[in-house]
Structure 1
Amino acid sequence: MIEIVSPAPSLLVVSGMSGSGKSVALNTFEDLDFYCVDNLPAELLPDFVRSATHPERSSQKLAVGIDVRSRGDLANIPEWLSAVGAMGLDPKLVFFDTRDEVLLKRYAETRRRHPLTHLGLALADAIALERQALKPLRALADVIIDTSDLNVHQMRRRVITELGLGLHSALSLLFESFAYRRGVPADADFVFDARGLPNPHWDARLRPLSGRDADVHDYLDAQDDVRRYVGQVGDFLGTWLPRMQSDTRSYVTVAFGCTGGRHRSVYLAETLGELARTRGWGDVATFHRELD
């Protein structure tokens, strides 16, 4: 009798500076069938792995985000990684870094709050404090990826190739949403304007939600113009994306813009991204510039 041995589960611990691209990395791992958890309290890492690898769940690929937001003493990470190793896993710590001046620019562009500004710190001081707090993790990292000069698509490809996750020859597709008031993404290959479609913003019930939410999705799905738009864009991409692949293109960004970058453009990026997955047009990721 031949005994079939299942491969040992793998674990990627994702850490790094806030604004360096950790969310992009976790989204990429999720697209590659990893079971992903972000902002896990660091001391719960062994318990999470024990639960996720239970025979009744049998998750074989795990990715966990642990950073300055995580509760617990990050200096104890070696102890928790050793505990995970004792369970038969070979954990790898991937650290994302970015130059301070680039982080300052990214926060200025997105207007998001740094997780340490609640301490009453200026942004530059919050970044400095975070860098100090993450020193133990950076020192332990198996892989350090500097994203200072990478766009979202390049970052995704760098993550896949750096970690040897088996990217094949298919196109790497990014479906991105954005707000026109903040400009068109500079690296977009195709840009589609959704501002002529019905706007959920004017429905008080839908206004606080985003295009990721089921109520917004159902509202837009019910609109004839939206269904026609999705069908026509889908036909266009189905015609031209294979041509771009045969033209030795390795990655393509398809961007959808609306006024606020929250409802219509997000819905379209998610909907067309799912269509691309279903039709096998390539390796698909989504990014919502005004939300992520």
Structure 2
Amino acid sequence: MKLIIVSGLSGSGKSVALHTLEDLGYYCIDNLPLFLLTELATVIAQLEDPVYDQTAVGIDARNKPENLATLTRIIDEARALGLECRVAFLDAQTDTLITRFSETRRKHPLTNADRSLREAIVLERQYLEPILRGATWHIDTTHTNVHELRDLIREQVAGESSPRTSILLQSFGYKYGAPHDVDFVFDVRCLPNPHWEPELRRLTGLNPAVAAFLDGHPEVTRMRDDILAFFDRWIPEFETDGRSYLTIAIGCTGGQHRSVYLAEALRNHFEAGGHKVMVRHRELP
């Protein structure tokens, strides 16, 4: 069982780190009162519930300073329970943090009528010093944007710079209307239509006879290869940008033959590349 504690300066990217861990399958809890961490670790160790096999907890300066000083002891106790416990500490230069708060108009948790933003950041560093000393990873986000921070977290936790995008392929018939809420739509009505072959009309693009018919036309192969070449070129860019899901719709006249065949061809290609793929043939029963 893994327990990751995410801490650091306000404005340094802790929320981004927790969201990234959530995308990696971690059960995430933000702003947990530190005095509850021991109880949480004990419950996780005893439950042996797969849901909590990977848990991440956000700890910040809203905890009392005397509680923050106990974190090292709490981590030792968690490890004694059999948890693999690591600490990610996010930091940034003070001027950068001030700029970020100014741009977002957020209120620093330690500012008040008698304490300026700069003074609050200095005080926060003092409060979090015990956590920094025991951190497994110290990540400086001064010159890091959101996407770069996500990659840093993935590299540290999962050993990968970007996750594979999950792909939803949908075939459809234009005669019934184009689908909504898709990222890409390809119109393949220009391809030879098996509907006009009497022996193929009642079949679908899932049938080997229909596939053989379409395979026999070079324009079908060119269309398939052009679509695949486009996505082979651009999916890595979507993944670098943190895109988790991509929906691709392929339409022919009735949604029975050409669109179904090409959706299945794309499925085979993407699955061979390590993507999680779902296929929906909207017009098939």
TM-score, scaled relative to structure 2: 0.61
TM-fit CA distance, 1:43: 1.5
The aligned residue for residue 54 of structure 1 is 46
What is aligned with 1:244?
234
Where 1:134 maps in the other structure, the secondary structure is helix
Match of 1:185 in 2: none
1:65 equivalenced with 2:44 (yes/no): no
1:261 matched residue in structure 2: none
Equivalent residue for 2:86, pick from 75, 89, 92 = 92
Give the drift of 1:156. 0.4
**2:91, 2:139 within 8 Å by CA — same for their partners in 1?**
yes
Count of residues in correspondence between the two structures: 198
Question: Against the structure 1 CA distance between its residues 113 and 241, is the aligned structure 2 distance closer, same or farther, given a 3 Å change threshold?
Answer: farther
Residues 169/79 of structure 1: CA separation in 2 closer, same or farther (3 Å cut): closer
Work out whether residues 171 and 251 of structure 1, in 8 Å CA contact, stay in contact via their aligned partners in 2: no
Task: Supply the distance in 1 between the matched residues of 2:17 and 2:161 (Cα, whole angstroms).
Answer: 18
Q: 1:243 to 1:110 in 2, by over 3 A?
A: same
What percentage of residue pairs aligned between the two structures are identical? 36
* CA distance 1:171–1:151, shift in 2 (3 Å): farther
**One-letter amino acid of the structure 1 residue matched with residue 240 of structure 2:** Y
Paired amino acid for 1:230: D
Aligned to 1:148: 142
User: Could you list the per-position Cα deviations for residues 32-52 of structure 1 after superposition, in whole angstroms to 9, with x for gaps in the alignment?
Assistant: 111111111112111112223
Q: Distance in 1 between matches of 2:113 and 2:78?
A: 33
Shift of 1:241: 5.1
Asked whether the equivalents of residues 17 and 153 of structure 2 are also in contact (C-alpha less than 8 Å), the reply is yes
**In structure 1, distance between residues paired with 2:233 and 2:53:** 35
Task: Give structure 1 stretches of 5+ with no counterpart.
Answer: 1-8, 174-226, 255-272, 284-292
Residues 98-109 of structure 1: pairs in structure 2 closer than 5 A = 98-109=92-103
Paired residues of 1:43 and 1:80 also in contact (CA < 8 A): no
Contact 2:152 2:161 (8 Å CA) reproduced: no
Deviations 1:173-211 (A, max 9, x none): 9xxxxxxxxxxxxxxxxxxxxxxxxxxxxxxxxxxxxxx
Evaluate the alpha carbon distance shift between residue 275 and residue 250 of structure 1 in structure 2; reply closer, same or farther with a 3 A threshold. Answer: closer
Secondary structure of the structure 1 residue equivalent to 2:181: helix
Could you tell me how far 1:12 is from its partner in structure 2?
Answer: 0.7
Give the distance between the partners of 2:9 and 2:125, measured in 1 at CA. Answer: 7
Matched, 1:230 2:181: yes
Q: Larger Rg: 1 or 2?
A: 2
Partner of 1:36: 28
Tell me by how many angstroms 1:252 deviates.
2.4
2:128 maps to 134
**TM-score (ref. length: structure 1):** 0.59
Q: 3-state SS of the aligned residue for 1:167?
A: coil
Question: RMSD of the alignment, in Å?
Answer: 3.1
Counterpart mapping for 1:198-277 below 5 A: 230-231=181-182, 233-235=183-185, 242-245=232-235, 251-252=240-241
